[in-house]
Amino acid sequence: MRLPRFDYLEPANLEETLDLLSTHRDDVKILAGGTDLLVRMKKGLLKPKKLISLKALDELSYIKEENGVIKIGSRTSLSDIIHSNLIQKKAEALFQACEKIGAVTIQHCRGTIGGNILQDNRCHHYNQSEFHRSGRQACHKDGGKICYARDEADRCNSTCQSDGATALMAIGANLTLAQKGGERTVDLDNFYTTDGIMPFAMESHELLKEIAIPIQGAKSAYKRLAYRSAIDYPIVCAGVLLKPSDTDKNKIADARIVVGAMGRAPLFLAKASSSLKGKNLTDKDAFKNAADISMNSAAPFAVHNVGATLEYRCDMVFEMVFQALEQAAIAVKK
Amino acid sequence: MEKIQITLDINNKPYDVRVYPNDTLLEVLRDELDLTGSKESCGEGVCGSCTVHMDGKPVRSCLTLALEAVGSKIKTVEGLASGEDLSDLQQSFIDHGAVQCGFCTPGMLMSADALLNVNPRPDEKTIRKALAGNICRCTGYAKIVEAVAHAGNPQDHCPDCKTGSKTVSKTKE
């Protein structure tokens, strides 16, 4: 499969990169590891006139702890995250998610955390070859007015299958988006639009610069279900965070449950999360109840477009959330 | 769009080549430099048959632009043997029948070589994890795992290839 033609730009530093982004805007795309972008380009889903390579931007590759916050540069490779003691100990869900992304050959230097968060939404009606798509009318994401995943849908229902984003949302991460002359910080909770065509609330001249994770004295866990242990995207995944009470270590003071691969964005489930407040860490019934609420809350968002049947994926939301809660509870008790 | 002159360091030899920005490393290796050991199968990073090393780490050459490989030390499957002498890993693949149609073998070898370089005595779980990104539709993987295990421990007795042990050390859970 040949890539379509494009011009290749290799800025030497962040300033030059933001300059180029501000000049070319919609004509360019950012190339970090390329494991998502180049595949889409090969399938003719995307034909940017120019690619800006982040190859020389080593300044965006770091993991550090500052004032109770873990900061990760957007171009940091998944391999660096997996091997970081800081991430393994204080952002368990992110470590467990990154370990599952792609395979060793993807995680080493090619796959980056920024690329994983910003990977495009997927749908098995859309992520097909040009030949396959040419045999029928274009769907919403392909520039048409039809959704093959949900009858009479007025918008694109493609699914966000990012492992990293689901785990990061669970542990309350926020993103720093840089543009020429400034930058802004946005909570991952507020980073998504409700549109599958352009799922991220960011402009074409903005660059994801940094991911910040607050250390909250809590423990997190991530579980995912996929057909193949390597390479495959999750068909359901869940990230959870459990914060024990300061006065009683066995009680849950706060919880966050996020379910991924079930909608246009990772879903923070407020009702399921708050149902755990004040509950005991050994209370399996409370976990089952939260997993049950998660399943009921997430199901309406999902459409049948990432492989397994919708019914199976909905059932598995319960399993993923319950398993992740159990794992996080064990980590808190240690 | 014009061709760009670059120099690639492949198997410790410099190669001057003119490439388009949209040429992948795999296309340059196979079509321009005649290094046809690396194979293209899926072309989208799923199968692993195009695996090569960049600075000692296994990467998908079908998803790496040739321009992105400039400045890195690249090793392809052609760089494993010294002349006519196969590497221990290659010999072990032959001895254990780890090759059937052979199309996945260059990728398997490169992923396994990268593992053995950092972990010379891997257990079965480690080997299977390192090779999880490589698909083989013939062997059922068992022979490949045995071949990699033996290549890491060539001194052990092996009834299969007469020079080493067929037994793969089981993972301690």
Going along chain B from its start, the domains and CATH numbers come out as 4-79 (3.10.20.30), 88-152 (1.10.150.120)
Interface of B with A in 71-110 (CB under 8 A): none
Search chain B and give the residue with CA nearest A233.
Answer: B46
With an 8 Å Cβ cutoff, is A55 touching chain B?
yes
Predicted confidence band at B152 (pLDDT cuts at 50, 70, 90)? Answer: confident
List, edge to edge, every strand of the sheet that includes A207-214: A63-66, A69-73, A207-214, A174-179, A182-187
**What is the rounded distance in angstroms from the CA atom of residue A210 to the CA atom of residue A204?**
17
Q: Are residues A49 and A78 in the same domain?
A: no
**What is the rounded distance in angstroms from the CA atom of residue A243 to the CA atom of residue A278?**
10
Q: Are residues A275 and A169 in the same domain?
A: yes
Query: Reduced to 3 states, what is the DSSP secondary structure of residue B51?
Result: strand
Predicted confidence band at B167 (pLDDT cuts at 50, 70, 90)? Answer: very low
Identify the pLDDT of residue B165: 43
What is the per-residue DSSP string for B56-94? TEEEEGGGSBGGGGTTSEEE-GGGTSBTTBPPHHHHHHH
Q: Are residues A190 and A323 in the same domain?
A: yes
Identify the pLDDT of residue B163: 55
With an 8 Å Cβ cutoff, is A215 touching chain B?
no
Do A183 and A209 form a contact (C-beta atoms < 8 A)?
Answer: yes
Identify the pLDDT of residue B173: 42
Min CA distance, A105 vs chain B (Å)?
A: 5
Q: Report how many domains make up chain A.
A: 2
Q: Are residues A47 and A165 in the same domain?
A: no
Do B158 and B150 form a contact (C-beta atoms < 8 A)?
Answer: yes
Using a CB-CB distance cutoff of 8 angstroms, which residues of chain A are in contact with residue B43? 1, 42
Q: Does residue A59 lie within any of the structural domains?
A: no
From A6, A53, A103, residue closest to B68, measured CB to CB:
A53
Q: Specify the CATH number for the domain of residue A35.
A: 3.30.43.10
pLDDT digits (tens, 9 = 90+) for B109-147: 999 999 999 999 999 999 999 999 999 999 999 999 999
Q: Above 60 in pLDDT, residue B170? A: no
ipTM for the predicted complex comes to 0.93
Identify the pLDDT of residue B52: 97
Which residues span the domain enclosing A2?
1-53
With an 8 Å Cβ cutoff, is A56 touching chain B?
no
CA-based torsion, B145, B149, B154, B159: positive or negative: negative
Chain-chain contact of A3 with B22 (C-beta, under 8 angstroms): yes
Identify the pLDDT of residue B172: 45
pLDDT digits (tens, 9 = 90+) for B54-88: 999 999 999 999 999 999 999 999 999 998 899 99
With an 8 Å Cβ cutoff, is A108 touching chain B?
yes
Identify the pLDDT of residue A107: 80
**What is the rounded distance in angstroms from the CA atom of residue A271 to the CA atom of residue A294?**
8
Q: Are residues A72 and A194 in the same domain?
A: yes
Do A120 and A175 form a contact (C-beta atoms < 8 A)?
Answer: no
Identify the pLDDT of residue B1: 74
With an 8 Å Cβ cutoff, is A103 touching chain B?
yes
**What is the rounded distance in angstroms from the CA atom of residue A21 to the CA atom of residue B17?**
30
Using a CB-CB distance cutoff of 8 angstroms, which residues of chain B are in contact with residue A1? 43-44
Query: Reduced to 3 states, what is the DSSP secondary structure of residue A126?
Result: coil
pLDDT above 90 covers a percentage of chain B that reads 83
Chain-chain contact of A53 with B45 (C-beta, under 8 angstroms): no
Identify the pLDDT of residue A158: 96
Search chain A and give the residue with CA nearest B133.
Answer: A103
Chain-chain contact of A35 with B133 (C-beta, under 8 angstroms): no
Q: Specify the CATH number for the domain of residue A285.
A: 3.30.390.50
Do A3 and B22 form a contact (C-beta atoms < 8 A)?
Answer: yes
Q: Does residue A15 lie within any of the structural domains?
A: yes
Residues composing chain B: 173
Query: Reduced to 3 states, what is the DSSP secondary structure of residue A70?
Result: strand
Q: Are residues A78 and A187 in the same domain?
A: yes
Q: Does residue A190 lie within any of the structural domains?
A: yes
Min CA distance, B170 vs chain A (Å)?
A: 20
Q: Are residues A41 and A166 in the same domain?
A: no
**What is the rounded distance in angstroms from the CA atom of residue B79 to the CA atom of residue B61?**
15
Count how many pairs of residues, chain A against chain B, have C-beta atoms within 8 Å: 88
pLDDT digits (tens, 9 = 90+) for A121-180: 999 999 999 999 999 999 999 999 999 999 889 999 999 999 999 999 999 999 999 999
What is the per-residue DSSP string for A2-52? PPPP-EEE--SSHHHHHHHHHHHGGGEEEESS-TTHHHHHHTTS---SEEE
Report, as an integer, the average pLDDT of B15-31: 97
Give me the average pLDDT of each 10-residue run along chain A (334 residues). 94 97 95 94 95 96 96 96 96 96 83 96 94 94 93 93 97 97 96 93 96 95 93 95 93 97 96 96 96 97 91 96 97 90
Mutate to test the interface with B, among A104, A120, A129 (most CBs of B within 10 A): A104
